[in-house]
Amino acid sequence: MIKHFMNFEWKQFFRSSYWQKSIAINILMVFFALYFILVFLALGFGLYPILKKQFPDSDPLIMVNGFLFYWFLGDLVMRFFLQKLPVMNIKPLLILPIKRSKIVHYVLGKSMISFFNFLPLFAVIPFGTILISEDYNTTTILVWMLLMVVFTLIVNFLNFIIESKSAETELSFLPIIAITSGLFALNYFEIVSISGLLANAVNSITENPILLLIPFGFLALLYFVNYSILRPKLYVDGSLKAKAQIATTSDLAWTRRFGDIAPFLQLDLKLIWRNKRPRSTIFILVIGLLYGLAFYPNPVYKEMVPMFIFVGIFVTGIFMINFGQFIPAWDSGYYKLLMSQNIKYKQYLNSKFSLMLMSAILMFILSIPYVYFGWKILVIHFAAMIYNIGVNSHVLLFGGSFNRKKIDLTQRAAFNYQGTGAVQWLIGFPLLLFPIIFFYIPYKFIGFEAGIATLIILGGIGIVFHQKLMDGITKRYLKSKHKMISAFDQSN
């Protein structure tokens, strides 16, 4: 049976249009994976010499054990956002003569061979080998390495429990943030020294291998909890069917002021508020707004004014870039309706433009307090806003006409690459890079004011020729209409 499951997985992966179409994403993922492997290898090989050099009096193994707590905490948070329980298409299997427990065991077993569980090995094995070669007790180190694997698996299964519990709440990432920051705070303020406790536990286990039974027992317990969470969900009215939300209606009467684009504006606002994926663009707004704090107070960047342009474009344009690059894929689920309804393409696009325009202005206003770090920053943000409105918004709309990727609105957002294509990556860079270049050249040769003026003039040109630009963009969309319809019609 397992053989069949594996076979299905293989076919599902290679026959999905996702794989066949987005080689670029896969290359990118492989690149990330290689990068992390290298980082962990470097850590594994470098840790011992570095610790020995910096703290010649301490035992490197004991020191590493002291840091394990932070490692696991970080691992847990990372997994929560990146790793999902490898669900298989269960529905067709339910009525076949397969034991339900077998399906659950298979799903849980498969989660163990995740990349996330192998990653630590790239650090643990070199580090352990070096320790053995440095005359540590071989049994102790082997037990320690085994223990690390068990801990990794514990984090693996703990994460799925947290995920399944928090999936039921609205702000799905709040529980994990609360749990990890709670643990961190308990430890940091030395209310309970968890890192110390964990270090002691690890130390005593490595000295007393029989104690390994405790982490193994804990792992088995977590496995069992996962099993008992999943097992009752294998019914079509269980997890396989999404829960119906209570609808909240709002008539958004204030949008009437915007004339003939009002219905689309209402639709977009509801789109953003009522679906998980676009709703997260709102939370990203907050992150974008706080982004400046990473740069402005830091004296290192004091003289790097072009860097501030980057921050300015980012702060005033974060919503624009996040939302804009998936136009019109947000509407991919009902694109056929829009295309056969009494809609002028230009109105539809104008509504998207207005939304981006409003977000840029709003973000500029909200970022005014940054003037605390100098009036220049306010000027930069203003110029960046004008540039975003005049240039970037039109570039994004234009880029959207090349969009061929459907978005399933109900999916989660962070690191969800659904709907991203090579075009999105290509379009992201110039949005941030070009304004820096446009600013830098006059800034270098003439001065700060000239750089700012260039950005404002470029943005101004875009705003003045807005109608003309929109006509051109509309033509592009009309031209690729049928291609988009057929692309959005395919499920991923």
Partner 1 sequence: MIQATELSKKYGGVTVLNIEALEIPKGQTFGLVGNNGAGKTTFFNLILDLINPTTGSVINNNIQVNKSEDWKPFTAAFIDESFLIGYLTPEEYFYFIGELRGMNKADIDTFLAQFSEIFNDEIIGKKKYLRDLSKGNQKKAGIVAALIGNPEVVVLDEPFANLDPTTQIRLKKLLSNLTKDSNSTVLISSHDLGHVTEVCERIVVLDKGVVVKDLKTSEETLKELEAYFSV
Site for partner 1, rule CB under 8 A:
242, 244-249, 262-263, 266-267, 270-271, 274-275, 333-337, 339-345, 409, 482, 485-486, 489
Phi and psi at 402, nearest 5°, equal -95, 0
Residue 406 CB, shortest distance to partner 1, in Å, is: 10
- Under DSSP, the state recorded for 243 is P
Contact 335, 368 (CB under 8 A): no
Measured CA to CA, the distance from residue 62 to residue 329 in angstroms comes to 52
First to last CA, the chain: 26
- Under DSSP, the state recorded for 171 is S
How many other C-beta atoms can be found within 10 angstroms of the C-beta atom of residue 475? Answer: 13
Token pair for 178:
């609360």
Between 111 and 418, CB nearer to partner 1? 418
Residue 435 CB, shortest distance to partner 1, in Å, is: 34
Residue 102 CB, shortest distance to partner 1, in Å, is: 31
Measured CA to CA, the distance from residue 290 to residue 300 in angstroms comes to 18
Residue 25 CB, shortest distance to partner 1, in Å, is: 25
Between 20 and 245, CB nearer to partner 1? 245
Measured CA to CA, the distance from residue 356 to residue 360 in angstroms comes to 6
Cis peptide before 97 (omega within 30 of 0): no
- Under DSSP, the state recorded for 373 is G
Residue 250 CB, shortest distance to partner 1, in Å, is: 9
Residue 263 CB, shortest distance to partner 1, in Å, is: 4
Residue 244 CB, shortest distance to partner 1, in Å, is: 4
Measured CA to CA, the distance from residue 290 to residue 292 in angstroms comes to 5
Between 275 and 392, CB nearer to partner 1? 275
Complete DSSP assignment for 271-284: HHHHSHHHHHHHHH
Contact 190, 124 (CB under 8 A): no
Residues 6+ positions from 406 with CB-CB distance below 8 Å? 329, 332, 333, 418, 419, 487, 488, 490, 491, 492
Between 204 and 486, CB nearer to partner 1? 486
Between 160 and 345, CB nearer to partner 1? 345
Between 233 and 482, CB nearer to partner 1? 482
Residue 239 CB, shortest distance to partner 1, in Å, is: 16
Between 195 and 403, CB nearer to partner 1? 403
Token pair for 355:
């939304």
Between 277 and 381, CB nearer to partner 1? 277
